[in-house]
Amino acid sequence: MAITDEVLNELLKDYQKPEDLLGQNGLLKQLQKRLLEKAMGAELTVHLGYGKHDPAGRNSGNSRNGTSPKTLKGEFGNLELATPRDRNGSFEPQIVAKGQRRFEGFDQAIISLYSRGLTTREIEGHLLEIYGVEVSPALVSQVTDAVCADVQVWQNRPLEEVYPIVYFDALWGKVRDNGQVAKVAVYLALGITIAGHKEVLGMWVASTEGAKFWQQVLTELKNRGVRDIFIGCVDGIKGFPEAMEVVFPATQVQLCLVHMVRHSLSYVGWKERKAVAADLKPIYRAATEAEAEQALRAFEQKWDRKYPTISKSWRTHWPELITFLKYPAEIRKAIYTTNALESVNRSLRKISKNRGVFPHSESLLKLYYLALERIAKRWTMPIPNWSEALNRFALEFGERMPKLD
């Protein structure tokens, strides 16, 4: 509907300063109030079947019955409305529904602030300062708790049949359990689709890990439609290779080399860390398995007398550490490190650091889910060098590779 210049000129004839238009009692707010009340009045006319003061309403069995006050909260502040009523109590306005106390989009504003790590009290203060709207901590919790159902739907959604790479990692949080503060791990699985895009497949909370736990997680992924994973990249999570062997026996396991190097350096004093790190680099920068083996032997000869635990650990996990050497140099970094998931974890830690202790695991998952929704919006491009990776996967995995459209 076009609004003519004549109408606008009439509305603005007393305009002198911005507050006259945008202030708490400015023109825009008055217009919003009048338009909503007028629309509800029109809806009541349709409901009754006759207009105000229309003789057709006599002895109709129902009539207008004044108004009742209602306060709507929104980004415009608090808006006081006079909601029309009918005598039979059968009228339910559509534009501002019965029981509605917040304007459309306002709940999403609360959820958006929550997903960025603001505490309930901080959200309350922000809305009061920016919009002049008072909300209680209970309202913020009520709005965000509605997301819990979405978390369940998301966690159980169907997945793609094949993921060439899936990264598994964990981050820690604190929750209350029977009055005690307990430390729990939230495990995440980040898949790379055939198209090369990142997708968080799920989240799982556990206080302990092991083959049994990971077998449950991998079985859940299988039940949700995952038929095959080419490479599973982990940071040395206990029991994972054994569980993968049971559920996805054809999957190659790659231990994260970045985590392995960090673990190795934890045995080394500060003065020698740089030298040890430099001598570990030829192992994972090698062009072939034979060259990597030669670099590990050279490391053993130089450092075993002082730090025998390092080479022993590399030898113990050697098959899972050199999986990436089968692939071209362009895609090795995507395979041998969980950095793609680490960056997600850093974002999650950042938004949860102000919370301290969560009242329960559900509130922790709720926050992470909302944050992941926001993070995933940035994943619009395939990971680097993905076309080269696909060509190599096609050679390596043959019939396991799905046909591309």
Task: Identify the pLDDT of residue 2.
Answer: 63
Task: Identify the pLDDT of residue 131.
Answer: 64
Task: Identify the pLDDT of residue 116.
Answer: 75
Contacts of 313 (CB under 8 A, 6+ apart): 260, 263, 264
Contact 216, 222 (CB under 8 A): no
CA 161 to chain centre: 22
User: What single DSSP character describes residue 102?
Assistant: B
Please tell me the distance from the alpha carbon of residue 257 to that of residue 264, in angstroms, as a whole number.
10
Task: Identify the pLDDT of residue 397.
Answer: 87
Please tell me the distance from the alpha carbon of residue 191 to that of residue 200, in angstroms, as a whole number.
6
Task: Identify the pLDDT of residue 384.
Answer: 81
Task: Calculate what percentage of the chain has a pLDDT beyond 90.
Answer: 25
Cut 0.75: pTM above it: no
One-letter-per-residue 3-state SS of 45-95: HHHHCCCCCCHHHCCCCCCEEEEEEEEEEECCEEEEEEEEEECCCCCCCCC
Task: Identify the pLDDT of residue 174.
Answer: 85
Cα distances from 196 to residues 162, 164, 390, 391, in angstroms, run 12, 9, 9, 12
- State both tokens at 358: 């969560």
Please tell me the distance from the alpha carbon of residue 18 to that of residue 125, in angstroms, as a whole number.
25
Task: Identify the pLDDT of residue 292.
Answer: 94
Pairing of β 162-177 and β 357-358: parallel
- Which residue ranges in the chain fall short of pLDDT 70? 1-2, 22-23, 29, 32, 74-77, 100-107, 130-133, 209, 237, 338, 404-405
Nearest to 231 by CA among 251, 256, 207, 255: 251
Nearest to 341 by CA among 174, 200, 139, 184: 200
